[in-house]
Amino acid sequence: MQTVAQALAQARATGVDRLDAQLILAHVLTQGRSWVIAHDDAPLDAPQSDAVRAAFTRRAAGEPLAYLLGEKEFHGLLLQVDANVLVPRPDTEVLVDWALELLANAEAARVVDLGTGSGAIALAVKHGCPAATVLATDTSRAALGVARANAQRLALDVAFAPGSWWAALAGQRFDLVLSNPPYIAGGDPHLAALQHEPALALTPGGDGLDALREIVGGAAPHMAPGAWLLLEHGYDQAGAVQALLREHGFESVSTRHDLAGQPRCTGAHR
C-alpha cells in the first residue's frame, strides 16, 4: 500500500514537477490540491497507485498536464480537453479580453471563432457577453466534438459548424471575427516540445503564416460594415500580420502583447 507522501517521492524520482504531481494525485483521488498537501499519510488503493504511476510516466514524457487531468482553466471557465485539441493558453485570454471590450459597445453582435479547438475563445466570449450570437468552426470533427461537449457542460449557447476557415461560412457576415490559427513555422524547433498536441492546430507548415493569410485574404465577404478581425499570432509575426491586414483594406491596425510581453494579437476593422 502506497501513501500520498510515497507517491510524491515516486513523482520526484520520475522527474515530475511537484505541483504537477500534487495535481495528478488530487485528480486521481478526486480531492483538491490542498487536501493532498494536508494528507501525506493517506493511503492509495492499488488502482489509484497504478493510475498515478501511469500519469507520472506520461507527464515525464512531456505530455501536457491538461491532457492527463482532462481539463484546463481558460478565462475563468473549466474546459475539458483531450489530445484532439490544443491546450488553451493564457496568452489567448488577451484575444478574449480585446473581443469583450469591443462587444461592450455593440448590440446583438454576430461573432465567429475560426478554428475553435476546445471552444475556448467562443465559449469565453459567450460567457462574457451573453447577448452576442456566437458561432465556432473547426476543420477537425473530433475537435468540434470536444467544443460541443464543453458548450453543453457549461450551458453556453454557441453554434458549431465543421469546415476549414471560411469554407463553413458561405454567405454569412459577422461583426467580430476571432481566430487563434496554427502559426508556428514548419521548421520551428519549438514544435518538438509540442509533439503531444495536434500538429494541425500548431503549424500550417512553411513560414507559419499560411492560415493567417487565408483568414485575412478571405475575410472581406464575411465582414459586416465596421466589423473587427482579431488574430493571435507568433511573437515575431506582428509586422507581417499588420501588413497583411492593411494590404486587404483593414484600418486601425494595432497589436496587443501577451503576459510575457510578446506581441501576440493583432486586430483591425473595415
CA angle 91, 52, 42 (to 5 degrees): 110
Written as nine digits, the cell of 156 is 453556453
Among the listed ranges 67-75, 84-92, 122-130, 133-141, the one in contact with ligand GLN (CB under 6 A) is: 84-92
Q: Alpha-carbon distance 184 to 153, whole Å?
A: 31
SS3 annotation, 13-71: HHCCCHHHHHHHHHHHCCCCHHHHHHCCCCEECHHHHHHHHHHHHHHHCCCCHHHHHCE
Which residue number, 22 or 242, has a Cβ lying nearer to ligand GLN? 242
Give the count of beta carbons closer than 10 Å to the beta carbon of residue 15.
11
User: Closest separation between CB of residue 199 and ligand GLN, Å?
Assistant: 10
Which residue number, 195 or 252, has a Cβ lying nearer to ligand GLN? 195
The answer to the question of residue 184 lying near ligand GLN (CB under 6 A) is: yes
Instruction: Choose, by CB under 6 A, the member of 58, 89, 196, 248 that binds ligand GLN.
Output: 89
The answer to the question of residue 116 lying near ligand GLN (CB under 6 A) is: no
User: Closest separation between CB of residue 86 and ligand GLN, Å?
Assistant: 6
Which residue number, 91 or 210, has a Cβ lying nearer to ligand GLN? 91
Q: Alpha-carbon distance 119 to 160, whole Å?
A: 9
Which of 226, 191, 218, 216 is CA-nearest to residue 205? 191
The answer to the question of residue 180 lying near ligand GLN (CB under 6 A) is: yes
Site track 187-226 with ligand GLN (rule: CB under 6 A), x = hit:
-------x-------x------------------------
Which of 44, 40, 52 is CA-nearest to residue 14? 52
Q: Please, which of residues 131-160 interact with ligand GLN by CB under 6 A?
A: none
Interface contacts to ligand GLN, rule CB under 6 A: 86, 89, 91, 180-184, 194, 202
